[in-house]
Amino acid sequence: MSLTGLNIDLDDLRAVAVLSAHGHFGRAAEALHISQPALTKKIRQVETRIGGRLFDRHSRGVTATAAGAFLCERARQLLEHAAEAEEMTRRVLLGNSGVLRIGAGLTTMLSGLPEVLRTFRRRYPEVHLTVRDMSSSDQLAALRRREIDVGFARMPSEPGELTMEPVIDDELQIACNATLWPAGLSERRALLESPFLILSREASATFHDHVLTACLAAGFTPRVVQEANQLLTLLTLVQSGIGISLLPASAKALRIPQVRFLDMQLPEAVWTVGMAWNPDTVMDTPAQHFLPLVRQQFRRTARPQSRRPAIRAAKPGWG
């Protein structure tokens, strides 16, 4: 049945349920804060719309008929569901319930996001959290389509109607096999000649292009022997000694055995990850509580400038 075709509404159902509970027009009218004639008129109208008697009238009050008892029971259930729906809707509007959909990449996954998620889940247990591993471009597209609520994408970007604010910096570092390079990459010619592993452009065009830009700034053209679609795959290949790679410094948190990370100390190796959201929808979702937690967490865990010995950029034609 169409909702627009209903003959009775919640006020009608409430009147029927209260009259059944009190068994008397006067007491029921008092409980409903209306006059007895108004209640009598409402019940007659409901009976007319339903097509039959719901109450038997007698000198001591009223008694529900079989149809009336059936409707009263259903009325109580519907009124309870309506009250529950109202309360749940209010909680969703306040951001205390509902769904929060997050897109993120490796940097934020390893640099503070898990702590934010734990805190958020503890404070807002009724919110269902989903987290998707996505490239920056995919996140921005999903935000525009309103498929996710918050993203963590590379800056600078062109957010358009979205809002972005920086939360954390990361940098490309040379990942190599610690056994093959026990003293670091001191032999510049060896770096030039090393087999190079890179994330495919299909997996992340921005990361792939950034790696090539950093290589150019360091003065060499990588001899790519293999591409991979996952950073974890690259780390495994580096661990196996198949080649070297430029990977986010945040990947050190994975603690892959025998993988050494070495600073490039290049301005071109650094990038900023920004938190992105749609300002038109954030106040209608639990994101309104999530954004302040992110700001608090990343202020607390901001990574200081590296003080380790630098591997300086090579000059073009080096070696």
Q: Does residue 219 lie within any of the structural domains?
A: yes
Residue 102 lies in a domain: yes
CA distances (Å), 213 to each of 131, 207, 222, 247, in order? 30, 10, 11, 13
Indicate whether 176 and 254 sit together in one domain. Answer: yes
pLDDT interval class at 224 (50, 70, 90): very high
My answer on whether 114 and 150 are in the same domain is yes
Report, as an integer, the average pLDDT of 225-232: 94
Asked, for residue 137, whether it belongs to a domain, the answer is yes
**In degrees, to the nearest 5, what angle opens at C-alpha 121 toward C-alphas 118 and 124?**
145
Q: Which residue has the higher pLDDT, 161 or 318?
A: 161
Domain termination residue (choose one: 33, 65, 93): 93
111 and 68 in a single domain? The answer is: no
Inside any domain, residue 207? yes
Please tell me whether residues 21 and 74 are part of one structural domain: yes
Range of the domain at 248: 169-270
- Looking at the structure, tell me whether residues 47 and 179 fall in a common domain: no
* Whether 81 and 159 share a structural domain: no
Identify the weakest region by mean pLDDT among 96-100, 208-212, 248-252: 96-100
Is residue 316, in this structure, part of any structural domain at all? Answer: no
126 and 212: one domain? no
Single-letter amino acid code for the residue at 303:
R
106 and 158 fall within a common domain: yes
pLDDT band at 96 (very low <50, low <70, confident <90, very high): low
| Of the listed ranges 146-150, 158-162, 216-220, the one predicted with least confidence | 158-162
Claim to verify: residue 265 and residue 275 sit in the same structural domain: no
Q: Which amino acid is at 195?
A: P
Check whether residue 186 and residue 234 sit in a common domain. Answer: yes
Q: Give me the phi and psi of 166, to 5 degrees please.
A: -65, 140
The structural domain count of the chain equals 3
One domain for residues 241 and 228: yes
- CA dist 285 and 153 (Å) reads 20
pLDDT digits (tens, 9 = 90+) for 38-65: 999 998 998 888 889 999 999 888 999 9
What's the number of CA atoms in the CB half-sphere (13 Å) around residue 157? Answer: 27
Q: What is the average pLDDT score of the chain?
A: 84
Assigned domain for 314 exists: no
| % residues pLDDT > 90 (the chain) | 50
CATH assignment of the domain containing 62:
1.10.10.10
Alpha-carbon torsion angle 208, 214, 217, 223, nearest 10: -60
Residue 308 lies in a domain: no
Domain identity same for 13 and 88? yes
pLDDT, tens digit, 9 for 90 and up, residues 258-306: 999 988 888 999 999 999 999 988 877 899 999 999 999 988 554 433 3
The first and second tokens of residue 143, run together, are: 């935000």
Q: What radius of gyration do the chain's Cα atoms show?
A: 32
Q: Do residues 55 and 63 lie in contact, with contact meaning Cβ atoms separated by under 8 Å? A: yes
In a domain, 312, yes or no: no
pLDDT at 190 (0 to 100): 56
Mean pLDDT throughout 106-127?
A: 90
List the structure tokens of 293: 């937690």
Instruction: Give 248's strand partners.
Output: 172
CA atoms of 182 and 248, how far apart (whole Å) = 21
Query: What contacts 88, CB < 8 A, 6 or more positions away?
Result: 97
